[in-house]
Amino acid sequence: MIKGIPAGRGFGIGAAVLYYETEDFCRFAGTRITEAEIETELNRYGEAVEVAFKRLEGVKAKADQVLGAKEALMFEAYKMVLHDPLFQEMVETNIKVQLLSTEAAVLEAVAKIQALFLALDNEYMKQRAEDVENVGGNLLEALSGVARPDLSCLDRDVILIAKDLTPADTVSLDRVHIKGFAIEKGGVTSHTAIVARNLEIPAVVGCGEQLRDIAVGQTVILDGIAGTVLINPDGALLAAYQEKQRRYTSQVQELKQLKSEPAVTRDGVQVELVGNIAQPQDALRVIENGGSGIGLFRTEFLFLDGAQLPTEEEQFQAYRQVAGMMGGRPCIIRTLDVGGDKQPKNIAIPEETNPFLGYRAIRICLNEPVIFKTQLRAILRASAFGNLRIMFPMITGLEELRAAKQMLAEVRQELADQAIPFDPELKTGIMIETPAAAMIADLLAREADFFSIGANDLCQYTLAVDRLNEKVSYLYQPLHPGVLRLIRRVIDAGHQAGIKVGMCGEMAASPESALILLGLGLDEFSMNPAAIPYVKQAIRTVTFQAAAAIANHVMTLSDPDLILAYLKEQCDVD
């Protein structure tokens, strides 16, 4: 068994097809030429560029059909690299001055540019270095006159084994017969991983050179969820995976049907299933997975990336972008929640012995009015472009809430005076993350428009456990009666005051705990978008009556393990 990084969900079973280069291009590095040959080499280069360019045009045309115009732009970028003046200059200098052969000249230029990419501070951009290598590969291929094996038309189910797959390779894949790919190189944001996700083909990347032990034609099982590659399985293992494959496919189909269905129980009680996002582009995933809004838009990405504080304009653009992407669906924006494990370079946070109990989130904001008001202004301005709501994190008392609302009121007035539009109905809610807030939820409910329970932090603070501390993490149990009682208290207090209560935390994402939360009356479940279909299915399968009965029973139990076992049992029964 070979272990790699899971890059495309699902299971693939097929015969191994090895897709390795027929030429080892590295042997060209350092081939020297004489001055007399410069002219010839420059001509070879010019011709190779045109051949590679034409080939890329063909690939791009195909990509336009198969992947769509937006994705196909990638090949436009490759074509540009081929004609890029910087690249051309580097190659020509290598030929004319360094007296390298065209192949070596290209390899050296590619290496230099790759180094430039790898020096960038951004994971996504670093992996673009491989794009440059691909263009180099296209050129070398054109120079060598070798044609690549055809993956676009196969006669049996295969698992593709390769060192790497270039964008050009993946465009022409026979999607009917290619059941998965196992790649030596690559990470989760590498091109292959992205394509695997888009084409919904199981894939495992980063497997390393062990893949070279696989012989052509051997049966291979690809587990894109666990990230493993199994070679030559016996009958029993094969049958087991065929079953897994069948179940997974039907599950995916079922879940796909749910996208536009509401999260409503069999006896007609509807709840909102929404997504947690950490950056604007994640909003698309919420919609793809059938979420009805965003329950938590974490804004820290704006503050954690650069050395400078984000300007109001930068923030406004990001919030507005999401508001637009979500259409009329509600989107809750959480104000800055840094401190603890999230340390921005641009805000003065002292060294603390207890960062989770220290200067963070709303405490920083109330102490840094300029930073806070800039964010509030940006959110308010963006509220004119969609259905936004604001949420304050880490509120522990009425005074804090009032102070935050006061600042918001001041910002509202400023914008009104400047005749800058914003949503006058903008709802303002708070996260309930501490035992104190949970205990005075009744008081807070009178002055907040909604609650969102931050289950992860509430659990930590209530149980006094750091879930990342291996010695005590066994004590971190969201289903601990102490935590459940606080959750119930918050939901009841909210409903008494006529406001809705949601939750954003891992608890809301698991079908088992969703059952009890549903039964306790939770109105909104916010989770990582990929979990939405699963929770939706769980909710649509039960009746609220049954969930309420289950919740009541659970509240009488005292052992978290028993509670979990009971919930699992209830889930299976349904």
Partner 1 sequence: MLTKIFTITSAVGMHARPAATLVALAGGFKSEITMRYQDKTVSLKSILGVMTLGAGMGEKVEVMVSGDDQEEAMQRLTVFFEQELQDL
Cβ–Cβ < 8 Å for 476, 494: no
* Residue 363, amino acid: R
Q: Which of 153, 331, 504, 553 is catalytic?
A: 504
Q: Which of 177, 191, 459, 480 is catalytic?
A: 191
Quote the least distance from Cβ 359 to partner 1, whole Å: 24
Quote the least distance from Cβ 121 to partner 1, whole Å: 7
Between residues 91 and 220, which has the closer beta carbon with respect to partner 1? 91
Quote the least distance from Cβ 76 to partner 1, whole Å: 5
Between residues 149 and 306, which has the closer beta carbon with respect to partner 1? 306
Q: Cα 423 vs. chain centroid, distance in angstroms?
A: 30
Torsion of CA 522, 524, 526, 529, to 10 degrees: 120
- Partners of 230 in the beta sheet? 221
300 three-state secondary structure: coil
How many C-beta neighbours within 10 Å does residue 222 have? 31
- Partners of 272 in the beta sheet? 524
Quote the least distance from Cβ 132 to partner 1, whole Å: 7
Full DSSP string of 142-174: HHHTPPPP--S--SS-EEEEES---HHHHHT--
Residue 142 phi, psi (nearest 5): -65, -40
Cβ–Cβ < 8 Å for 314, 321: no
* Residue 401, amino acid: L
Residue 91 phi, psi (nearest 5): -65, -45
Strands of the sheet with 219-223, listed across from one edge: 2-3, 228-231, 219-223, 11-19, 158-162, 178-183, 203-205, 5-8
Sort strands 203-205 and 219-223 into parallel, antiparallel or unpaired.
unpaired
Between residues 142 and 309, which has the closer beta carbon with respect to partner 1? 309
Shortest CA distance to 217 belongs to which of 14, 387, 39?
14
Quote the least distance from Cβ 136 to partner 1, whole Å: 12
Give CA separation, 64 vs 58, 76, 137, 172, 198, in Å.
Answer: 10, 11, 22, 11, 14
| 177 tagged catalytic | no
Quote the least distance from Cβ 310 to partner 1, whole Å: 6
Give CA separation, 527 vs 197, 208, 263, 551, in Å.
Answer: 20, 34, 14, 21
Give CA separation, 297 vs 277, 331, 432, in Å.
Answer: 5, 7, 16
Both tokens of 224, joined, read 């894109």
- Can you tell me the distance from the alpha carbon of 411 to that of 93, in angstroms, rounded to the nearest whole number? 58
Between residues 15 and 111, which has the closer beta carbon with respect to partner 1? 111
* Residue 360, amino acid: R
Instruction: Tell the residue number behind the tokens 């208290």, with chain if given.
Output: 489
* Residue 270, amino acid: Q
Cβ–Cβ < 8 Å for 162, 16: no
Site for partner 1, rule CB under 8 A: 70, 73-74, 76-77, 80-81, 84-87, 113, 116-117, 119-122, 124-125, 128, 131-132, 279-281, 302, 305-306, 310-311, 313-314, 317-318, 321
- Can you tell me the distance from the alpha carbon of 210 to that of 184, in angstroms, rounded to the nearest whole number? 8
The angle, 0 to 180 degrees and rounded to 10, between the axes of the packed helices 511-520 and 481-496 is: 40
Q: Cα 152 vs. chain centroid, distance in angstroms?
A: 30
Between residues 218 and 528, which has the closer beta carbon with respect to partner 1? 528
Between residues 125 and 475, which has the closer beta carbon with respect to partner 1? 125
96 three-state secondary structure: helix
Sign, CA dihedral 560-263-444-432, equals positive
Between residues 42 and 73, which has the closer beta carbon with respect to partner 1? 73
- Can you tell me the distance from the alpha carbon of 46 to that of 38, in angstroms, rounded to the nearest whole number? 12
Cβ–Cβ < 8 Å for 280, 297: no
| 153 tagged catalytic | no
Cβ–Cβ < 8 Å for 32, 234: no
**Catalytic residue positions, numbered:** 191, 504
